[in-house]
Chains A and B, each alone.
Chain A
Amino acid sequence: MISCLFGAYLLKEGKLTKDQLETVFETMRKVRVKLGLIAVSEKLMTIEQSDEVNRLQAIVDKRFGDIAVEKGYLTDEQVSRLLGLQGNQYLSFVQSIVDNDFMAIGDIEKALSDYQNENGFTLTDIESLKSGDSDRIIPLFLPQNITEYQIQHILICIRTLIRLIDSEIYVGKGYVTDFYEANYFALQSLDGDNKATLAFSGEGKSILSIADKFAGEKFDNVDEDSLDSVAEFINCVNGLFATNVNSSFMIDMLPPEYSKTKASFSGKLLVLPVYVQGEKIDLISSFGDIINK
């Protein structure tokens, strides 16, 4: 995620062109090997075990390494070693820029410092960004004074997007508002001890970046079929959230909803811009009450 976030900043500042940034990402994709593949090549797991863990990742909110340890295929130490072999995303990003002669290392460091100042990040925040861990990165983009459960809800959504839709997503600065006008939406509300809603909306056809990948087909328009696909994705996210908080409180999942026409949301809304395959989509979350339409 740091490569996409910082890459978007470098693009905005004119330090890299769009083509150069794409070349950097392409170089990174070629050298970045999935953890399962490294585990198989290191003869720590069989192909069947790796495939099984990949399948399980679709239905449980856990990382490859965590599932592999739970299944007894890897130890914690082996996962740490494999992650070391896989490499740090930020360092790969910097390496790729330098190797392609797009920027010098000193200029990248200067740009990172400017990026830090522009966003008001501390050195600890920058360390979190460089870690590549979405659970450490996303809270940096969320407003203060939101509940721990709402953060958890959003983190599960982001992790599920990374696992099922796009491993290269990134986010913009989140904000709280009491009114949101949606061009179209897909959502699901949760009833029970803690009411909540999770929704997606966007401009133009941006939402199709989720719809296409989740349904496994190419939609041409934002229509009932594509929005239903997004609603089902939200249903899966909420299911994982309900599993995680099951011991704390009861959640009753209401039927997912969608509309291809404009709608106004009101309530205490948190809006987080999420960039999926480069398309900006708004993730809208309410917690403590469901969104009023």
Chain B
Amino acid sequence: MAKILIVDDSRTSRKILRGLLEESGHEVVGEAENGQEGVDKYKEFNPDITTLDITMPVMDGLEALTKIKEYDKNAKVIMVTAAGQQNKMVEAIKNGASEFVTKPFEKENILKIIDKM
């Protein structure tokens, strides 16, 4: 079971994601509501996996991804976004994101991706 950090500006998304991860036995070690807070909490918790929303205030997910990868080049990051942001997904994968998932969350898909990682 993985230690997971959730970074998303939406409390609804954080709550839904936490619920389905914990229900499946994973441990959510922390939550952050923007990219900057996400980078800080990554350094604090050193999670196995980080889920990173792309569209966030203060610092978006792409910038946070770069900073997390600078700090830990082996960081496993799943990018999260609504559909329609293919260009940003491609950029994220180029910058080292491991996987991506689309909102609204589809439980089986997320768990399959986490198991694969």
Contact A58 B85 (CB under 8 A): no
Contact A235 B82 (CB under 8 A): yes
Count of B interface residues, CB-CB < 8 Å: 22
Q: Chain A residues with Cβ under 8 A from B15's Cβ?
A: 215
Q: From the candidates A60, A232, A238, A242, name the one contacting B13 in the complex (CB within 8 A).
A: A232
Contact B12 A253 (CB under 8 A): no
Contact B16 A228 (CB under 8 A): no
Q: Chain A residues with Cβ under 8 A from B102's Cβ?
A: 59, 239
Q: Chain B residues with Cβ under 8 A from A55's Cβ?
A: 106, 108
Count of A interface residues, CB-CB < 8 Å: 30
Contact B85 A239 (CB under 8 A): yes
Q: Is A83 an interface residue (CB 8 A)?
A: no
Contact B11 A228 (CB under 8 A): yes
Main secondary structure of the interface of A (DSSP, over half): helix
Q: From the candidates B11, B16, B83, B106, name the one contacting A216 in the complex (CB within 8 A).
A: B16
Q: From the candidates A59, A225, A228, name the one contacting B83 in the complex (CB within 8 A).
A: A59
0/1 interface trace, chain A 226-245, chain B, CB 8 Å (1 if under): 00110110011011111110
Contact A235 B16 (CB under 8 A): no
Instruction: Give the distance in Å from the alpha carbon of A164 to the alpha carbon of B103 in the complex.
Output: 12
The residue of chain B having its C-beta at the shortest distance from the C-beta of A59 within the complex is: B102
Q: Is A5 an interface residue (CB 8 A)?
A: no
Contact A235 B103 (CB under 8 A): yes
Query: Smallest distance from the beta carbon of A70 to chain B beta carbons, Å?
Result: 16
Q: From the candidates B16, B57, B87, name the one contacting A250 in the complex (CB within 8 A).
A: B87
Query: Smallest distance from the beta carbon of B93 to chain A beta carbons, Å?
Result: 17
Contact A239 B84 (CB under 8 A): yes
Q: From the candidates A58, A243, A246, A250, name the one contacting B106 in the complex (CB within 8 A).
A: A58
Q: Would you list which residues of chain B between 51 and 76 have a CB under 8 Å from chain A?
A: 55-57
Query: Smallest distance from the beta carbon of B51 to chain A beta carbons, Å?
Result: 15
Instruction: Give the distance in Å from the alpha carbon of A231 to the alpha carbon of B103 in the complex.
Output: 13
Instruction: Give the distance in Å from the alpha carbon of A110 to the alpha carbon of B106 in the complex.
Output: 47
0/1 interface trace, chain A 252-278, chain B, CB 8 Å (1 if under): 011110000000000000000000000
Q: Chain B residues with Cβ under 8 A from A76's Cβ?
A: none
Q: Which residues of B contact A (CB under 8 A)?
A: 9-13, 15-16, 55-57, 81-87, 102-104, 106, 108
Q: Which residues of A contact B (CB under 8 A)?
A: 55, 58-60, 164, 214-216, 224-225, 228-229, 231-232, 235-236, 238-244, 246, 250-251, 253-256
